[in-house]
Amino acid sequence: MPEWTSVARLADVPDGQAITVQVGKKRLALARADGTVYAIDDVCTHDGGPLGEGYVDGYDLECPRHGATFDVRTGRPTRLPAVAPVKTHRVRVEGDEIQVAV
């Protein structure tokens, strides 16, 4: 059974935006696209950029450092310079709480 941890409230992540949350020693980027919240590792696979500080465009999250984008649904890179995927994490919403399983 996955262990679910509450990391934010829905209102903390408006549609089309991303934030950074901490789960234990791990930093995650939460991004909301088309009303759904997705969680991926906060560390860009190109050079460690903070993805939670990036920009949401459709289902893509753009790294603020050099502009690579990742599909938040799959973690796969959709624009260079990143070529490796970021890890995705399961998300559920309980009431107004966003929970992730890491």
Q: Which CB atom, from 49 or from 98, has the smaller least distance to ligand FES?
A: 49
Note whether 82 binds ligand FES by CB under 6 A. Answer: yes
Which span sits near ligand FES by CB under 6 A: 12-20, 31-39, 44-52, 89-97? Answer: 44-52
Chain centroid to CA 4:
16
Query: Which residues are 91's β-sheet partners?
Result: 100
Q: List the one residue from 29, 39, 41, 46 that touches ligand FES (CB under 6 A).
A: 46
For 20, the 3-state DSSP assignment is strand
Note whether 63 binds ligand FES by CB under 6 A. Answer: yes
Note whether 52 binds ligand FES by CB under 6 A. Answer: no
Q: Which CB atom, from 70 or from 98, has the smaller least distance to ligand FES?
A: 70
For 70, the 3-state DSSP assignment is strand
Note whether 89 binds ligand FES by CB under 6 A. Answer: no
Strand ranges in the chain using DSSP code E only, listed in sequence order: 4-9, 18-23, 26-33, 36-41, 55-57, 60-62, 69-71, 77-79, 88-94, 97-101
Binding stretches for ligand FES (CB under 6 A): 44, 46-49, 63, 65-68, 81-82
